[in-house]
Amino acid sequence: MTKRKYFGTDGVRGRVGVAPITPDFALKLGYAAGCVLVGQRADGSRPMVLIGKDTRVSGYMLESALEAGFTAAGVDVRLVGPMPTPAVAYLTRALRLSAGVVISASHNPFEDNGIKFFSGDGFKLPDAVELAIEAAIDQPIVTVDARRIGKVKRLDDAAGRYIEFCKSTFPFDLDLRGMTIVVDCAHGATYHVAPPVLHELGAEVIAIGNAPDGFNINDGCGATHPQAMVDAVRANGADLGVALDGDGDRLIMCDADGQIVDGDQLLYAMAKSRLAAGEAVPGVVGTLMTNGGVEQALRALGLDFERAHVGDRYVLERLQARGWVLGGEGSGHLLCLDRHSTGDGIVSALQVLAAIRRTGQTLADLVVDCALWPQVLINIKAPRELAQHAEVVAAAAAEEVAFAGRGRILLRASGTEPLVRVMVEGQEADAVHAAAERVAAVVRRLLAG
C-alpha cells in the first residue's frame, strides 16, 4: 500500500499550531477534499459535507479553515458544532451527504487536535480516496466561479436526531427504569447527548465530565481515566458506570463495586449475550493487543476469533472480509456493525445494558467467565521507529522464548502519538512485569543515546 504523508490510522492528528494541525493546512485539506468530492460527481451536482467537532478550543479555528476550503472548491457545508464522531458518521449517512468530517483528537489532551473523514455510507474513507486527497493538498487553491461557491448552514437538530438514533439501537421491549447509571462524558462531545439517551430510556443518570470549557477534555476523566467514574459509582451507590472518551467512540464501564470492565471484556459480554438470545455469532474480531484470556473465553463459547492489526479501521476491514458484526479493542473501540457503521461508545453501552436487562444479571455476572491474563502495557515517549530497532526486537524475542508458550510480547508504534508501546501478557504476573521492564529498558537506553 502506498505510504501516506498526512493520514494516519485515524485521520490527520498532531499538536495544534504545529504542522499539519494549522489553519493553513486545514484550509488546503478542505479544498483538496472538496476537489476530490467534486470530481466524483459525474452529473455535475454540488457535493455536501457535514462538519462536526469535539469540545477543544482549537476546533473553532480548524472548523472555519475547513469550511473556507470546502466552499472555495464548490462544496456546500452543514455545521453541527460539538458532536460525537459516531454521530457525524450516522448523520452523514442518514442525510445522504457526500462526506462527514470530524475535528477531534479523540482521547488526546486538549493541546492536540485532528481531522478525520467519513464517506457517504458512514464508513471511514477508503485508502484510495485518502491518497487522492493527499495528492491534491499541494496543488494551489483556485476558487471556483463566484456563482458556484459553496453555502454553509447550521444543522440545528443534529443532537436530537442522534439521540433518537442511539435509542433505536436499544430493544423496544426493554427499558432502564430502576437503574442508576453514572456516565462520564470526558468533558467531550457526548456531554449533551449521552445523559439524555440514558435518561429517556428510564435510567436515573448521574452525569460527570459534562462541563466542557475547551481545555478540560479527557483531563482526569473519561475512558482514559476511568477512576473518576469508579469514584462516582461508589459514592452514589450506582448500579454501574459508563465512561466515554472525548469524541465518544470509546467505552469503558465499571460494575457496582467499581471494578473496571474494559473493551475486551465488554466485547465478550456482547457476544455471550447474543448467543444466549439465540442470535448467530459466527465469530469475533479483536486485535494483536486483545487479552489472551478473552480469546480463550470466546473460544470456550464455541466462537471463532481473529486478530487484526491495532486500530478500529483494521478491525472493521476484517469484520467486513469475514461477514461478521462484532469486533473491538481493549481500549474501548467496539464495533457492532448491525447497529452502526463505526465504533460508538453510547451504542455499545446500550448493547451491554440490553444484555443486563434481558438476562437479569449484573455487569459483573456477564463477564465472570472472562478472566483476563495479567497484561502490562508500557508506553514510552520515543520516535516510532524504535519499535522496530534490531536491539529492541531481539530483546523481545528472547523474552518470548523464555515464556515457553506461557506468554507473548508485542512491540508496536502508536498510530496517533510519538510512542513506542511494549505489551507483555502471560499466565504469571511476576514474569510478565519483569519481561516488560527489561524490554522497555532497552528502548529507554537507545532513546538516551
Q: Give the domain 176-260 fold.
A: Alpha-D-Glucose-1,6-Bisphosphate; Chain A, domain 3 (3.40.120)
Round to whole Å and give the CA distance between 100 and 121: 10
pTM of the model: 0.90
Q: Tens digits of per-residue pLDDT, 316-354?
A: 999 999 999 999 999 999 999 999 999 999 999 999 999
Q: Which amino acid is at 245?
A: D
CATH number of 375-448: 3.30.310.50
Residue-level pLDDT at 449:
75
Region 40-66: what's the mean pLDDT?
93
Q: How many CB atoms lie within 10 A of CB 299?
A: 12
Helix, coil or strand: residue 71: helix
Catalytic residue among 106, 119, 273, 331: 106
Give CATH 3.30.310.50 domain extents, the chain: 375-448
Q: What's the per-residue H, E or C state across 116-158?
A: EEEECCCCECCHHHHHHHHHHHCCCCCCCCHHHCCCEEECCCH
For the stretch 151-190, pLDDT in tens is 999 999 999 999 999 999 999 999 999 999 999 999 999 9
Residue 194 reports pLDDT greater than 70: yes
pLDDT at 125 over 90: no
Per-residue pLDDT of 208-227, as tens digits, reads: 999 999 999 999 999 999 99
Q: 164: helix, coil or strand?
A: helix
Using DSSP's 3-state secondary structure scheme, residue 366 falls into helix
pLDDT tens, position by position, 63-77: 999 999 999 999 999
Q: Is 45 a catalytic residue?
A: no
pLDDT at 71: 98
Q: Which helix (H) or strand (E) holds 413?
A: strand 407-413
* Mean pLDDT of the region 271-276: 94
Q: Please report the beta strands in 131-278, taking only residues with DSSP state E, as ranges in sequence order.
A: 152-154, 180-184, 204-208, 240-244, 251-254, 260-261
Confidence of residue 3 (pLDDT cuts 50, 70, 90): low
Task: Reply yes or no on domain 262-372 having CATH 3.40.120.10.
Answer: yes
- The CATH classification number of 12-157 equals 3.40.120.10
Percent of the chain with pLDDT over 90: 86
Which residue spans of the chain are classified as CATH 3.40.120.10? Answer: 12-157, 176-260, 262-372
Q: Tens of pLDDT along 345-399?
A: 999 999 999 999 999 999 999 999 998 889 899 999 999 889 999 999 999 999 9
* Residue of higher predicted confidence among 373 and 286: 286
